[in-house]
């Protein structure tokens, strides 16, 4: 049986322009998994208040990170697309070098390449089994469930449905936690530990958690496992949540407000890591590395350092491979 692994991430505008950002946001924010406001009301807000103005505001931020990866390293186009594509290439090399005859591709939930296009191409090549791997360590209905929806839609009218496995989460996978811990240790070996370690996760509306989304619990468990690996005291680290959108209450504490409070009360140095992001993107390279750095320094802090996402680290690729191995058809 021929098997393909499809790595999936959120997606990105095709270009750092207002028009391209608008197309991407329309696709992304039209998904009822992402915004759960009643559809007629939300679509009115989206088309009348969000899409006419927000793309022009955030296109310069995309332009600022375009062709630029971690520490200013040059990448081709969108960092998120570059890192996801290269992760697929490295995972392919890993399996080949270990005697595994697997095809590894990548797709995006929004923007391109789209999952249905990748699946169609692979099926024409004779692929009979798929492992769809959302690169979200912590499950949320706003991210992973949207991919479940797309998989179901692709095969809704098919008679000959292939063997399909979806990775729901891997927040407690030991190799993933170990890769995070290694990245922090290497950072500390180079710079020394800061006074505080902030674990900033992407936020979701608080109401989603109250309705049963397990994301908040997964984030807290990720943080606990990482702190245990690093053997750091509770007063030296904290969880926070970033990237809130709109006026509703989101998961707290908020990253920007936490950094403001720390700077104001005399915390001199902060290390920030974003364990929910498998690849660096706008939310890490701009929001965390630039915007929140300024917030902390303006509040009175002295030293602010961002610890990059796991991206192309060898131990990260090995962790992804281990997750895939557990999902492959046949005896384990």
Same domain, 146 and 208: no
| DSSP per position, 138-185 | S--TTTHHHHHHHHHHHTTT-SSPPEEEE----TT-HHHHHHHHHHHH
| DSSP per position, 45-63 | HIIIIITTTHHHHHHHHHH
Token code pair at residue 126: 């004779």
Question: Can you give the residue range of the structural domain that contains 277?
Answer: 174-307
Q: Which pLDDT value is given to residue 157?
A: 84
SS3 of residue 287 by DSSP: helix
Same domain, 110 and 160: yes
Q: Which pLDDT value is given to residue 215?
A: 98
Same domain, 165 and 246: no
Same domain, 144 and 21: yes
User: What element of type H or E holds 7?
Assistant: strand 3-9
| Residue 112 near residue 14, CB atoms below 8 Å | yes
Q: Which pLDDT value is given to residue 11?
A: 98
Same domain, 319 and 303: no
Is position 233 within any domain? yes
- Give the count of domains, the chain: 2
User: What element of type H or E holds 201?
Assistant: strand 196-202
Residue 25 has a CB neighbour count (10 Å cut-off) of 18
Is position 162 within any domain? yes
Same domain, 45 and 163: yes
Rounded Cα distance, 215 and 228, in Å = 20
Is position 332 within any domain? no
Q: Which pLDDT value is given to residue 71?
A: 84
Q: Is residue 94 part of an annotated ligand binding site?
A: no
Is the pTM of the predicted complex or chain greater than 0.85? yes
Residues of the chain short of pLDDT 70, as ranges, are: 1, 330-332
| Residue 111 near residue 24, CB atoms below 8 Å | yes
Rounded Cα distance, 160 and 45, in Å = 41
Is position 330 within any domain? no
| Residue 75 near residue 66, CB atoms below 8 Å | no
Token code pair at residue 45: 């807000």
Same domain, 139 and 182: no
Going by the DSSP 8-state scheme, the letter that residue 242 receives in this structure is E
Same domain, 62 and 141: yes
Same domain, 247 and 161: no
Is position 105 within any domain? yes
Beta strand segments in 222-289, E: 237-242, 269-273
Same domain, 220 and 290: yes
Q: Which pLDDT value is given to residue 1?
A: 57
CATH number, domain containing residue 234: 3.40.50.1400
User: What element of type H or E holds 134?
Assistant: strand 129-134
Q: Is residue 93 part of an annotated ligand binding site?
A: no
Is position 263 within any domain? yes
Is position 331 within any domain? no
Q: Where on the phi/psi map is residue 246: left (φ > 0), alpha (ψ -120 to 50), or beta?
A: left
Q: Which pLDDT value is given to residue 332?
A: 54
For residue 31, give the nearest of 168, 119, 145, 151 by alpha carbon.
145
Same domain, 178 and 102: no
Q: What is the pLDDT of residues 101-127, one digit of tens each?
A: 899 999 999 999 999 999 999 999 999
**Non-local CB neighbours of 242 within 8 Å, separated by 6+ positions:** 200, 201, 202, 203, 254, 255, 256, 274, 283, 287, 288, 292
Same domain, 71 and 86: yes
Q: What is the pLDDT of residues 226-250, one digit of tens each?
A: 999 999 999 999 999 999 988 899 9
């Amino acid at each position: 049986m021929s098997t393909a692994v499809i790595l999936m991430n959120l997606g990105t505008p095709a270009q750092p322009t207002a028009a391209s950002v608008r197309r991407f946001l329309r696709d992304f924010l039209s998904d009822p998994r992402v915004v759960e406001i009643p559809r007629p009301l939300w679509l009115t807000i989206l088309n009348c208040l969000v899409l006419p103005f927000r793309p022009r505001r955030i296109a310069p931020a995309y332009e600022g990170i375009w062709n630029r990866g971690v520490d200013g390293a040059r990448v081709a186009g969108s960092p998120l697309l570059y890192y996801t594509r290269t992760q697929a290439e490295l995972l392919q090399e890993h399996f080949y070098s270990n005697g595994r005859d697997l095809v590894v591709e990548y797709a995006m939930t929004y923007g391109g390449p789209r999952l249905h296009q990748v699946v169609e191409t692979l099926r024409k090549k004779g692929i009979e089994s798929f492992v769809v791997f959302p690169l979200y360590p912590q499950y949320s209905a706003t991210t992973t469930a949207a991919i479940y929806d797309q998989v179901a839609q692709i095969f809704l009218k098919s008679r000959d449905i292939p063997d399909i496995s979806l990775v729901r989460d891997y927040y407690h996978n030991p190799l993933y936690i170990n890769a995070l811990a290694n990245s922090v240790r290497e950072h500390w070996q180079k710079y020394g530990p800061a006074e505080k370690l902030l674990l900033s996760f992407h936020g979701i509306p608080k109401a989603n958690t109250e309705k049963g989304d397990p994301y908040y619990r997964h984030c807290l468990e990720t943080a606990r496992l990482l702190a245990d690996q690093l053997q750091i005291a509770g007063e030296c680290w904290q969880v926070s949540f970033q990237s809130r959108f709109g006026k509703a209450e989101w998961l707290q504490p908020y990253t920007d407000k936490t950094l403001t409070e720390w700077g104001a009360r005399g915390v001199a140095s902060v290390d920030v890591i974003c364990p929910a992001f498998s690849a660096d993107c706008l939310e890490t390279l701009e929001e965390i590395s630039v915007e929140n750095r300024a917030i902390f320094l303006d509040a009175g802090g002295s030293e602010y350092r961002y610890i990059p996402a796991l991206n192309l680290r060898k131990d990260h690729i090995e962790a992804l491979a281990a997750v895939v191995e557990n999902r492959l058809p046949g005896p384990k």
